[in-house]
Structure 1
Amino acid sequence: MATARGAREFQAADYAVMSAMLAVSVGIGVYYSIAGKGQRSSDDFLLAGRSMRFLPIAISVLASFFSASTLLGTPAEIYQYGTQYWISVFGAILAPLTGALLFGPLFFKLKIVSVFQYLEMRFSSKAVRLFGAVLFVIRAVLGMGIVLYGPCTALSAATPVPTWSSIIVVGVVCTLYTFLGGLKAVIWTDVFQTLVMVAGMLAVLIQAIIEVGGMGRMWHLAEEKGRIEFFNFDPDPRVRHTFWTLVVGIYFVWLPPYTVDQQMVQRFSSARSLRDAKMALLFNIPGMFILITLCSLVGVALFATYADCDPLSADVISNPNQLLPLFVVQMLSFAPGLPGLLFASLFSGALSSISSMLNSLAAVTWEDFLKLKFGHLPDEKVTWVTRGLVVLYGVIGVGVAFLVEQLGGTVLQASLTINGAAGAPLVGIFILGAFFPCINWIGAIIGGVLGFSFSMWLIIGKYLTKPVDFKLPTSVEGCYFNVSNSNTSVSVWANSSQHLQGTSLKSDIHHDIIGLEQLYSISYLWFSAIGILSTILVGFLVSVITGLSKREDIDDNLLLSFPRNSGCYCCKRKMKAYHCQTKDHKT
């Protein structure tokens, strides 16, 4: 198997590949600005004129939720903990199915721009709407800075390019094409950037397989070192990864982005028909499977490459998320342009996520905040207001990225915990509204606040409690290179498995944990489910205490089609005094 060869510097061809990717992204924005005659209407700018076909929407949604963090973090997860995380794909693909068949059609039918408009329509309360919008803005602003910081700091670790300069360049490019071309430019740049992402990861995988002597040799090395494991049916919720956490728990993790996230709803609403919108999310099922499988295979290949010389143990790198950049500069430098392609793929992941957030933040800020006071403005001026919001949030995103750089990984972890904690209560509130007509606005908002607080409490408690770590063993027996460790810190946190270190994979290590630490030791993959279910439970109890809403007061169009009567029946059983009826039906 191959061991490290020593880092090489980027060549002109590598910079050219990265520059070409950025130039094409800007070019797409310019094209749609001209072709769309400046995107003069807010409908064009925020919803692409509701004219998009399913395939570009499908790829755009996929690109928005698979950032550079996923490309770096998933291989690092497989490298350290084995292939068990791979089976999470079977739980993850259920989320777009839920969005396509349930929530997506509901929002499409209402013709809303901001998903939080639904909350006011359903609960007749601006407070619930504003609560949801504020949570989204917090999540998106923090997410932009984190996603932007990741690939920039990875690039600075492998090249002489300082982190601050790449943050500014990428931030300006992303803001520029979003400002010029609106959602249509965002969607088509996502398509281009997804192709770059896949090409970069394929290049890494192919070269890694060549380095270790073939796919069979790669798999044999990983199996020999105990990295191949798929099914652990331990029912203990404290075990970091089991079949249940990776199929059931991960479903709840992916539920927020594919059901009630503003980025998804805007793309769903941009489709020319409901059929195109549904097909877009359904096509995310094979798309998710391909991307997660590709990243997982890269993780196996990286382990096989460094099976006898772990760069982490040898102090060549200080962070597992540096594994992929290290491999690129060591193993792909023989072909000018290939390292540039990989880093272009990382930046493509960042650009696709950030541009989606910029457009969605502009939509939410206008629809849920500014429109309340400036709704009298003509549509052409509204378009320029939303363009200005894109620029404003672009500047804020760059600022947050610099803040993350200065304050380091601890704040990065804390920011991601807030980002994750905000998603679960939003899903809970939307489920309360769409499934249960008896829930009132007081129950919805108190359930959301307490669900958010409980999620934050669990995540912070887990973060502050010293984790029991059970990384799989590595070796340095085959090390023969001499590469000094860089002082540059690469902190790219991909998902909860990196920023919230889980408890041991072996449940018997938990025997000496007492008190609240037992609660904090629950696998991080259950936190989203706990946040959603606690929001629903509290919302229901508060509604019972404060007075259930009457069924005849709720428009059928605000409820999911199949649970209209079932949710009504549930409420009636809980409270005999509750009046349960539809326009043409009484129970």
Structure 2
Amino acid sequence: MMEKKTFHPADYVVFAAMLVISACIGVFHAVSGGKQSTTREFLMANRQMASLPVALSVLASFFSASTLLGTPAEIYQYGTQYWMSVFGAMMAPLTGALLFGPMFFNLKIVSVFEYLEIRFHSKSVRLFGATLFLLRATLGMGIVLYGPSTALSAVTNFPVWAIILMVGGVCTFYTTLGGMKAVIWTDVFQTIVMLAGMIAVLIQGSSQIGGMNEVWRIAYDNHRIEFFNFDPNPQVRHTFWSLIIGIYFVWLPPYTVDQQMVQRFSSAKSLKDAKFALLCNVPGMFILITLCSLVGVVLYANYATCDPLKNKDIANANQLLPYFVMEIFADLPGLAGLFVACIFSGALSSVSSMLNSLAAVTWEDFLKPRMSTVDETTATRITKALAVVFGCLGVGMAFVVEQMGGTVLQASLTFNGAIGAPLVGVFILGACFTRANWIGALVGGTIGFVFPIWLGIGKYVRHPQDFKLATSVTNCSIENQTWATTFPNSTFRSQSTLPPATITSPESVTFNTSSLVPTELTGLDKLYGVSYLWFSAIGILTVVVIGLLVSWITGKGEDEVDDNLQLHFWKRLYGVISSRSDRKSGENNEIEDDNKSQNSYTRVEDITTSL
């Protein structure tokens, strides 16, 4: 095992500076302006934020350390297929900016789940949606706290538990003091740090190999470059269809009905500013996903002949990028600290956003209706206390996530997709279908939640398939090599033309991704084998279909729903379709009447002739 490289004093200074600046932003907003003395200021930034900081805040919140660590690890282990997801993902902020966002902005609501009560006239539906969000955000905090903590542990002497406590504490501190303004402005700072850190890794990492042309050649020669896999089989982990359609539904919850997005969208000065903020996320997503994917290709090119996972230099795939950074920046003090600051910026921005939103939902949906006599000052203190409580819960959840396997990217996408799906489905029922009632929304939402979660747990427990590509340990030290192949015999059959006798070690065989086909799955493994990227789409479709069916069985919904509670685009589209259908029906009726008249005339003419 290679000697563990650790931080230079300059790296500690850079990393500490990032934490101190983030904390200072919180202190500044705690003592400036309205001093966070009202829930409107603490939760909504007084609805006076400009579009650019809101745009960067939304981007930073949804591109956590899970993305920064997980995407390069994903590309390293599975090839470049995931890169195609950028085109499906970019459609989500467009949907939020043009459809759902304006509807919520005009309603002037603090909690997005207030919409559900207004639309369905049911507190049960509202509390159902709010409970799902609390579950999703609490789990999400654990995932985004654990990822960077294990990364920093790989390059320093700090244990994972100490790092989780430190970062969770700093994040809770500035969120509680500075409210939404602190969250947004720290997100702006942290977005800049994230971009700087990933660009530094890309430049230095590619220069180690001889430039991006050489990086691409190595990846191509080893069959890591693949973009257009049009296989319609939903059990294939990543295909063109799952990465365009499936990933769109995965990103749909955060960019359309997520409390974090709605709070930021509604904190803008005007609807125009709010729309512009989300539209800015389209190029922002492209830049970040592309940057992280390129870093993954660089990562593979550097370790093409010595996989640090097989060589036991690191414990899991989440430590690949930090391990690589410590190697390439060994002679450049401060840059490794910049990278780790970049990773933690992703974590801080996501966790702070979740803390503020969790406090908002808990107060607005659960406590405020029962504490209507509480004055504004007390209400603000309660929301701040809630932020502290959820900060502690997030830290605890990080220790739970530590026991899970797989990359943080897949864990994040699986949980966000499965838990976010029923929320999107319920909002679609309310905003698009006037006949949907509260019973349909509740039953459909429940089934749409349980089904994808069941699939996710089944996939995690059974591991019906493994799509990792082969890696080599040819140039590693022999004493650390492990010949454990990445392809379980029960999952794949190799179509290699080499006879078994010539295969002397795993690294001596070159696998082509197109020559690996999944074996036939049986029983429940057929369901568990479905790609995790389809879980969100399955959940949303389940909610809508079951919701409409139950609404039809239990009685009609409302014939007229207030225009402010409907998606105007859908209403106009439905109106156009209905008018065309009516015109066609009218034309058919006219033709039928003409035919009847013609037939009557013919019969009269025949009778006259016969006479």
State the TM-score, normalized to the length of structure 2: 0.86
2:238 aligned partner: 241
1:461-517 deviation per Cα after TM superposition (whole angstroms, max 9, x unaligned): 2223232223222211222598899xxxxxxxxxxxxxxxx9997697445312332
1:576 aligned partner: none
Work out whether 1:63 is the aligned partner of 2:27. Answer: no
1:6 CA displacement = 4.7
1:78 aligned partner: 75
CA contact (8 A) 2:27 2:177 kept: yes
Give the residue type in structure 1 aligned to 2:553. Answer: I
Give the residue type in structure 1 aligned to 2:530. Answer: I
CA contact (8 A) 2:34 2:41 kept: no
CA contact (8 A) 2:143 2:411 kept: no
Aligned partner of residue 320 in structure 2, secondary structure:
helix
Give the residue type in structure 1 aligned to 2:393. Answer: I
Give the residue type in structure 2 aligned to 1:246. Answer: L
Aligned partner of residue 167 in structure 1, secondary structure:
helix
2:609 aligned partner: none
CA contact (8 A) 1:5 1:330 kept: no
CA contact (8 A) 1:263 1:357 kept: yes
CA contact (8 A) 2:311 2:480 kept: no
Percent identity between the two aligned chains: 63
Distance 2:85 2:63 in 1: 14
Give the residue type in structure 1 aligned to 2:475. Answer: G
2:542 aligned partner: 534
CA contact (8 A) 1:467 1:503 kept: no
2:201 aligned partner: 204
1:114 aligned partner: 111
CA contact (8 A) 1:417 1:460 kept: no
Distance 1:174 1:511 in 2: 46
Give the residue type in structure 1 aligned to 2:143. Answer: I
1:410 CA displacement = 8.3
Give the residue type in structure 1 aligned to 2:295. Answer: V
Work out whether 1:176 is the aligned partner of 2:173. Answer: yes
1:407-426 deviation per Cα after TM superposition (whole angstroms, max 9, x unaligned): 45489988975554210010
Work out whether 1:453 is the aligned partner of 2:461. Answer: no
1:559 aligned partner: 566
1:34 aligned partner: 31
Q: In the alignment, which of 153, 158, 162 is matched to residue 161 of structure 1? A: 158
Question: Which 5+ residue runs of structure 1 have no aligned equivalent?
Answer: 486-501, 574-587
Specify whether residues 334 and 509 from structure 1 end up closer, same or farther in structure 2 by C-alpha distance, changes over 3 A only.
Answer: same
Distance 2:294 2:110 in 1: 39
Map 1:500-579 → 2, pairs under 5 A: 509-552=517-560, 554-564=561-571
Distance 1:432 1:138 in 2: 22
Specify whether residues 510 and 33 from structure 1 end up closer, same or farther in structure 2 by C-alpha distance, changes over 3 A only.
Answer: same
Distance 2:392 2:412 in 1: 18
1:91 aligned partner: 88
2:591 aligned partner: none
1:432-452 deviation per Cα after TM superposition (whole angstroms, max 9, x unaligned): 000011100000000000111
Give the residue type in structure 1 aligned to 2:248. Answer: Y
Give the residue type in structure 1 aligned to 2:307. Answer: D
CA contact (8 A) 1:60 1:188 kept: yes
Specify whether residues 27 and 415 from structure 1 end up closer, same or farther in structure 2 by C-alpha distance, changes over 3 A only.
Answer: closer
Distance 1:277 1:110 in 2: 14
Distance 1:474 1:323 in 2: 14
Work out whether 1:132 is the aligned partner of 2:139. Answer: no
1:566 CA displacement = 5.2
Distance 2:492 2:423 in 1: 27
Distance 1:568 1:538 in 2: 24
Instruction: Number of aligned residue pairs: give it.
Output: 553
Distance 2:442 2:579 in 1: 22
2:472 aligned partner: 475
1:375 CA displacement = 1.8
Distance 2:492 2:204 in 1: 34
Work out whether 1:46 is the aligned partner of 2:71. Answer: no
CA contact (8 A) 2:66 2:412 kept: no
1:275 aligned partner: 272
Specify whether residues 404 and 247 from structure 1 end up closer, same or farther in structure 2 by C-alpha distance, changes over 3 A only.
Answer: closer
Distance 1:98 1:22 in 2: 34
- Provide the aligned C-alpha RMSD in A: 2.5
Distance 1:191 1:208 in 2: 26
1:281 CA displacement = 0.5
Distance 2:461 2:342 in 1: 34
Distance 1:533 1:133 in 2: 20
Aligned partner of residue 562 in structure 1, secondary structure:
helix
CA contact (8 A) 2:73 2:407 kept: no
Aligned partner of residue 551 in structure 1, secondary structure:
coil
Distance 2:551 2:418 in 1: 23
- More displaced stretch, 562-571 vs 256-265: 562-571
1:72-124 deviation per Cα after TM superposition (whole angstroms, max 9, x unaligned): 11001111111111111000000000000000000000000000000000000
Aligned partner of residue 105 in structure 2, secondary structure:
helix
1:258 CA displacement = 0.3
Q: In the alignment, which of 236, 260, 285 is matched to residue 288 of structure 1? A: 285
Distance 2:515 2:349 in 1: 39
1:395 CA displacement = 1.6
Specify whether residues 239 and 441 from structure 1 end up closer, same or farther in structure 2 by C-alpha distance, changes over 3 A only.
Answer: same
Specify whether residues 507 and 258 from structure 1 end up closer, same or farther in structure 2 by C-alpha distance, changes over 3 A only.
Answer: farther
1:520 CA displacement = 2.0
Specify whether residues 12 and 101 from structure 1 end up closer, same or farther in structure 2 by C-alpha distance, changes over 3 A only.
Answer: same
Distance 2:419 2:73 in 1: 26
1:494 aligned partner: none
1:565 CA displacement = 6.0
Map 1:213-228 → 2, pairs under 5 A: 213-228=210-225
Specify whether residues 257 and 171 from structure 1 end up closer, same or farther in structure 2 by C-alpha distance, changes over 3 A only.
Answer: same
State the TM-score, normalized to the length of structure 1: 0.90
